[in-house]
Chains A and B, each alone.
Chain A
Amino acid sequence: MISRRTKRAKIYQSRTHILVTLLFIVVPFLFLLVFSRLAHITTGKLFSDLFISAGRLAAAYGLAAIIGWLSAVLFYHGKRAVIALPIFDVLQSFPTFAALPMAVFLWGHSNFVVIFFLIITVIWPIFFSIISSLKLIKRDWQEVAEIAGLSGFNYLKIFLLPITMPGLITGSIIGLGEGWEALVATEIITGVKSGLGGFFETFSRNIPITALGIFGFLIFIFSVNKLIWLPLLEWSHHKMEE
């Protein structure tokens, strides 16, 4: 008989959760308002820097997720895996910042350079987490899909996407964590004048503002994780419970 022993993902299902959610949106917003006053910069400039940086990271993340997912699905098993996985393992250890000055020399102070370097930072945790999800596919599940004759879009939608979802979300959390860090550094090194990198460079000699800026940055990342990624992680693992 049916047993309701399994724990449901309860986030957003109660008044407390809605209040906590609002708090996570309101606190970073208020912090930025106060912070802009303290730093004597216009609130608009601060928000535009934040959104430009977040936009660059979002673009890089979107591309990294697509490329990482496709590569993982193509290379997770068989002879292709034997050849490709050691190569990817070496590539992920490549010190990307070493090549950054050369990229600036070749392509200039551009969004392209920032996004490209963000992609090669974010993609590896996504790729390897999805590989790990795919390696855990049970033979029975694969055979069920085969017997059912699933192929093409149905195989992708009904089988591959749900199976890779926990890996994609775990990899995204790690990848974006590294991405935020790389974002600021890349923006400073490439010398693009907009974004959080530009902001921190401008206030590099003002320790209190830099410290407060880093603190605000952390609140923002924490809120995004709490509001988006952690509920998604819980949901994806709950879906895979047997």
Chain B
Amino acid sequence: MNTALELKNISKSFQEKPGETLVALKNISLEIRLGEFFIFLGPSGAGKSTLLRVMSGLEKSYEGNLSLSGEIAKSDFSFVFQQFALLPWLTVRENIGLGLMSRNLSSADRNKRVSEELKLFKLEKFSQAFPRELSGGMRQRVGLARALCTNPKIIFMDEPFSELDSFTAEELRQDLLKIWNERKMTIVMVSHNIEEALELADRIAVLTPLPGRIEKIIENSLPRPRNKRSPDFYRLYDELYTLIKP
């Protein structure tokens, strides 16, 4: 399988106070494959979100080398935020179409693309609503629709379901898997939920904290759709739990 993104010896430190440096990431090296669903799993403070921000280009100061596959440009990136990050002064339709504003598209094409995402995420009735009028689940639907509207080749997701109730989160995970199967984009996600990681990911990198480093990368070859009550699911769950527990 071709590589989408390659990290070599990525390290990142923060200056907490003068003379005090916090090493958030230490010598992270790995390859993300084209079209795979990759999850960084770890406890709080393991540097998962920092690593995601480095990979997505939002964090610009770091040590090491990050290289992209020739067929992917920065404009092919998209990002789903933990707390939705919808712009409150824009309607649902405007928020979803935000990434298309900088593309060379006619307004008819833009509207068509946005309408498709509205339909896909069952948001048509709320297209003129403002984010403040939506529930958390609906807001994250808008966040996902916004990320997908530009047809990205890589989507970075920072704990996208952690702010939602378990039923809504499960529903959105299923929607995401369906879309990922159809569109075949690469997804790099951060999670602290072992079950979620096993349900979604092809590979899971376990990060340990202070400094954040990769403890192990686990291939998750459980057949899809995944049965959360199968012995293999439990075996992998236990393996991950043992790696993560303090």
B22 contacts A by Cβ under 8 Å? no
A149 contacts B by Cβ under 8 Å? yes
Could you tell me which residues of chain B, from 112 to 151, have a CB within 8 Å of some CB in chain A? 125-126, 129-135, 138
A146–B85 Cα gap in the complex (Å)? 12
- 6 residue pairs, one from A and one from B, having the closest CB atoms: A149-B102, A140-B85, A162-B89, A148-B99, A239-B89, A148-B98
Tell me whether A2 and B81 are in contact (CB under 8 A): no
A151 contacts B by Cβ under 8 Å? yes
Hey, which bits of chain A sit against chain B, CB under 8 A?
1-4, 6, 138, 140-141, 143-144, 146-151, 154, 158-159, 162-163, 239-242
Tell me whether A144 and B90 are in contact (CB under 8 A): no
Q: List 19 A-B contacts (CB under 8 A).
A: A2-B133, A2-B134, A2-B135, A2-B138, A4-B133, A6-B133, A140-B85, A143-B79, A143-B81, A144-B79, A144-B81, A148-B101, A149-B102, A150-B102, A154-B102, A158-B90, A158-B94, A162-B89, A242-B132
- Chain A nearest CB from B26 CB (Å) reads 24
- Chain A nearest CB from B153 CB (Å) reads 14
Tell me whether A147 and B56 are in contact (CB under 8 A): yes
Tell me whether B129 and A149 are in contact (CB under 8 A): no
Tell me whether A239 and B135 are in contact (CB under 8 A): no
B78 partner residues in chain A, CB cutoff 8 A: 147
Could you tell me which residues of chain B, from 56 to 107, have a CB within 8 Å of some CB in chain A? 56, 58, 75, 77-79, 81, 83, 85, 87-90, 94, 98-99, 101-103
B138 partner residues in chain A, CB cutoff 8 A: 1-2
Tell me whether A241 and B101 are in contact (CB under 8 A): no
Tell me whether A147 and B89 are in contact (CB under 8 A): no
Tell me whether B129 and A147 are in contact (CB under 8 A): no
Could you tell me which residues of chain B, from 147 to 183, have a CB within 8 Å of some CB in chain A? none
Tell me whether A240 and B89 are in contact (CB under 8 A): yes
Most chain A beta carbons < 10 A, residue from B87, B133, B135:
B87
Known contacts A4-B133, A143-B85; 10 further A-B pairs (Cβ under 8 A): A2-B126, A147-B79, A149-B99, A150-B101, A154-B101, A158-B94, A158-B101, A240-B89, A241-B130, A242-B88
B90 partner residues in chain A, CB cutoff 8 A: 158, 162
B77 partner residues in chain A, CB cutoff 8 A: 147
Tell me whether B79 and A150 are in contact (CB under 8 A): no
B56 partner residues in chain A, CB cutoff 8 A: 147
Tell me whether B87 and A141 are in contact (CB under 8 A): yes
A3–B79 Cα gap in the complex (Å)? 27
A150 partner residues in chain B, CB cutoff 8 A: 98, 101-102
A164–B125 Cα gap in the complex (Å)? 30
- Chain A nearest CB from B112 CB (Å) reads 18
- Chain B nearest CB from A169 CB (Å) reads 13
Residue of B nearest to A159 (CB): B87
Most chain A beta carbons < 10 A, residue from B75, B79, B88, B131:
B88
Contact among A2, A141, A149, A154 with B85 in the assembled complex (CB-CB below 8 Å): A141
A150–B75 Cα gap in the complex (Å)? 11
Most chain A beta carbons < 10 A, residue from B77, B83, B101:
B101
Residue of B nearest to A140 (CB): B85
A2–B87 Cα gap in the complex (Å)? 17
- Chain A nearest CB from B103 CB (Å) reads 8
B132 partner residues in chain A, CB cutoff 8 A: 6, 241-242
- Chain A nearest CB from B33 CB (Å) reads 22
A148 partner residues in chain B, CB cutoff 8 A: 98-99, 101-102
A240–B78 Cα gap in the complex (Å)? 24
A150–B78 Cα gap in the complex (Å)? 13
A159–B79 Cα gap in the complex (Å)? 18
A116–B219 Cα gap in the complex (Å)? 70
A2–B92 Cα gap in the complex (Å)? 12
Most chain B beta carbons < 10 A, residue from A144, A146, A154:
A144
**A2 touching B88 in the complex, CB below 8 Å, given contacts A140-B83, A147-B77:** no
A129–B99 Cα gap in the complex (Å)? 29
B99 partner residues in chain A, CB cutoff 8 A: 147-149
- Chain B nearest CB from A161 CB (Å) reads 9
- Chain B nearest CB from A152 CB (Å) reads 9
A149 partner residues in chain B, CB cutoff 8 A: 75, 99, 101-103
A210–B138 Cα gap in the complex (Å)? 60
A151–B99 Cα gap in the complex (Å)? 11
B103 partner residues in chain A, CB cutoff 8 A: 149
B133 partner residues in chain A, CB cutoff 8 A: 2-4, 6
- Chain B nearest CB from A157 CB (Å) reads 9
A147–B98 Cα gap in the complex (Å)? 10
